[in-house]
Structure 1
Amino acid sequence: MTTQDLLATCWTTAGDAAPGRHDERSPLTLRERAEAAGAAGFKGFGLLYADLVEAEREYGLSGIRSLFADNGLVHVELELLTDWWADGPRRAASDAVRLDLLRAAEALGARDIKIGPDVEDKPWDLEAWAREFATLAAQADDVGARLGIEFLPWSNIKTLHDGLRLVEAAGHPAGGLIIDVWHTERAHTPPAELADVPLSRIVGVELNDADSQVVGTLFEDTVRRRRLCGEGTFDLPGLVTALRRAGWTGPWGVEILSDAHRALPVRDAAEAAFRSAASVLG
């Protein structure tokens, strides 16, 4: 792997699909998406659970693996597990998704499984969460993957430092953070602080850009108004330099979520995402 390998995260090639919709599935086939990502130059691909279910029905897991291989996509990321800390019916539903993600991760040789925090931002117990996280990290490790939690400024794990507190408390070497620069910037974390994150705790990195002003809620802004790398106000050179200083060599995820991006033909969307991110990486 070179230091320039780029991974198209799940929304970057999803077409007219977005987080928070009643049906989050991409209207595109996995073949269309994988071919667009590979043609653009991406070496990795992210797949949302809802799309994984559809793709497995259409191609089988071995077919998905072949599709990725045929298009040069060697870094596979699966997402998104939520309610892994819950109990009752929500936990039962989450556990069913967990088993599917673990099974698919093993079959596809996935590099990581991405999980989310509590977006309702309810009171939470660090010790209990760390225990659940460690169990999940061990399960990911058993299938050859790593476990990454993405901190979100509107959730119970709002910042880089909140995320580090959780993964350090959990203590499992397979567990760490997904660092999306949108979330570090919107949480007002200075780019230089990323240089101090232990490399062992960085599972994935996601690049994107945005305007200086948030429009609507943070969730609305992140889903509807992200910009291509270099087209917003983020200090992406500073962020990339800090992450490289921490030891990160990739793959670099590219996560573009916007009304404008969703409206593009998938090949144009993938090409624009790749070209702009590659330019920032130099």
Structure 2
Amino acid sequence: MHAAPTLGLILPPDQAPERFLEVARAADAADVPELWLWEDCFGQSGTSTAAAVLAATPRIRVGLGLMPVPLRNVALTAMEIATIARMFPDRFLPGIGHGVLEWMTQAGVRAASPLTLLDEQARALRALLSGDEVSADGRYVRLDRVQLRWPAPAVPPLLIGGGRPKTLALAGELGDGIILAGDMTPGEGAEETRAAVAIVRAAREAAGLPPESAVVQFAGVRADASADEVRRLRSVYGAAGATSVPLLPLDGEGRPESGDGILRLAETIGAAT
């Protein structure tokens, strides 16, 4: 029997940056295991927010799902991840992915082949985080004997976000886990989770890797949901293969909660853990 998934709280960029620390401290005090951030365009920077939250809390793990690779040079991403991982060992869960392609177009960085870009960045990033000297002459990633000066002694898991089959397979082959956004409608999406997990496991087995890996499934829930409702969501997604279920608090109209409801949900998640 598999262990129940870890519960978490999603703190979306609908919150003003100055409110993040208040919510993070409340979540930590409520014993929420994980707090997840999004690097949405054109909101808060993901790594700076993650570092601030980690510095402001003594215990909670912070996930970043995800850093859009078109926006980022892979050497800079490696430097940021390694720096945070050294400062806060075993508390940072970084993720990378395509990002929202419309936003990448707005920023002038949309790649002609998003899958090739993600593949090249993931391979280079894994090597850099492991302390290797990396040279690459790819379609998108070009590095000349780049090596981190301060690699993290304990390399954090590299999570890759995706939804379509080719990205899921790439995540299975190159990542330590997958981030699934899925349908944010409360209680929906478990079948999609199960199908995604099957693709990831098949890719890992084809690459000669153990089939099991981290599966982070984002899910929406009413901000005033009860502890029993939260536990039910954890059970539903856990049965589909999720190992972590961060919850996005929604208001009565199904939009991300931007008021005190997020603090109420933090208390509920802590009680349900």
> Which TM-score band (shorter chain)?
0.5 to 0.7
**Contact 2:35–2:63 under 8 Å retained in 1:** yes
Say if 1:254 and 1:273, in contact at 8 Å, map to a contact too.
no
Residue aligning to 1:114:
95
Tell me the TM-score normalized by structure 1: 0.57
2:212 aligns to what? 200
SS at match of 2:23: helix
Q: In structure 2, how many angstroms separate the alpha carbons of the residues matched to 1:79 and 1:191?
A: 17
Root-mean-square deviation (CA, aligned residues, Å) is 4.2
Pick which of 134-143 and 237-246 moved more. 237-246
Q: 1:276 to 1:33 in 2, by over 3 A?
A: closer
Counterpart position of 1:53 = 48
Instruction: Supply the AA of the counterpart residue of 1:134.
Output: R
Corresponding residue SS for 1:42: coil
- Write 1 or 2 for the structure with the bigger share of helix: 1
CA deviations 1:38-86 (Å, max 9, x no partner) are 2333122234562653685xx7xxxx646322xx41x22235422x3x4
Would the aligned equivalents of 2:10 and 2:36 in 1 still touch at CA under 8 Å? yes
Distance 1:148 1:29, change over 3 A: closer
Structure 2 CA distance for aligned equivalents of residues 66 and 120 of structure 1: 32
**Correspondence for 2:19:** 28
Quick one: which amino acid aligns to residue 26 of structure 1?
P
Runs of 4+ more than 6 Å apart: 183-188, 276-279
Distance 1:119 1:178 in 2: 14
Flag structure 1 segments of 5+ consecutive residues without an equivalent.
Answer: 18-24, 152-157, 210-226
Picking from 123, 131, 147, the partner of 2:120 is 131
Report the counterpart of residue 80 of structure 2 in structure 1. Answer: 100
Distance 2:250 2:267 in 1: 14
What amino acid sits opposite 1:114 in the alignment?
G
| Amino-acid identity (%) | 17
How far apart in 1 are the matches of 2:246 and 2:264?
14
Contact 1:181 1:239 in 2 (8 A): no
Provide TM-score, normalisation by structure 2: 0.59
- Maintained 8 Å contact 1:81/1:114: yes
The answer (yes or no) to whether the contact 1:176–1:202 under 8 Å persists in 2 is yes
Aligned-residue offset at 1:273: 5.1
The counterpart of 2:62, out of the listed 76, 85, 97, is 76
Question: Which residue of structure 2 aligns with residue 216 of structure 1?
Answer: none
Say if 1:228 and 1:272, in contact at 8 Å, map to a contact too: yes
CA contact (8 A) 2:184 2:218 kept: no
Task: Give the match's secondary structure for 1:146.
Answer: coil
1:146 is matched with which residue? 157
Pairing 1:164–2:168 present:
yes
- Tell me how far apart the structure 2 counterparts of residues 38 and 79 of structure 1 sit (CA, whole Å): 19
Matched letter for residue 81 of structure 1: M
8 Å contact from structure 2 (residues 50, 64) kept in 1: no
Structure 2: runs of 5 or more not aligned: 39-43, 103-110, 132-151, 202-210
